[in-house]
Copies of this chain bind each other. A is one copy, B any other.
Amino acid sequence: MSERGRKYQSDILAILRRGSAPQSAYDVLGELRQSHPKLAPPTIYRALASLMERGLVHRLESLNAFVACQCGEHQHSSILSICEDCGKVEESVVPDLLSVLTNCVSASGFRPRRHVIELHGVCASCGDVRVPA
């Protein structure tokens, strides 16, 4: 595993942890530029790539955004649930999830190596305050 981007990894992780909702690479860049005005996009993307390799950050493919991993254990199978109201993301660890999905597609002989599972919906606190239909 390479170590590219390590210089700003802790700063970026702190920024992602501070925000309750996912942030885009350019959101992070904007924040970091307050202290390091000359930072350019590749620096951010390199650091995010390393953080993702290490399992400390997840990329939300359906939002083009990033969140800090919320569990102590990294390198796990997880579901990312995105609230369409408040934007917050919850991470659910499901140890055998990948094997369940593998079974679903095993008929075709496909062998998964990485998975993307993102749910869009309404989180508990936003659902509570909603007027019933």
Known: A61-B61, A97-B104, A105-B90. A120 touches B115 (CB 8 A): yes
Task: Verify if A41 is at the interface (C-beta below 8 Å from B).
Answer: no
Number of copies: 2
Total interface residues in chain A, CB < 8 Å? 33
Task: Verify if A111 is at the interface (C-beta below 8 Å from B).
Answer: yes
Assembled-state Cα–Cα distance A113/B115 (Å)? 20
Known: A61-B61, A100-B100. A90 touches B115 (CB 8 A): no
Assembled-state Cα–Cα distance A90/B106 (Å)? 11
* A83, closest chain B residue (CB): B110
Assembled-state Cα–Cα distance A124/B111 (Å)? 7
Task: Verify if A79 is at the interface (C-beta below 8 Å from B).
Answer: yes
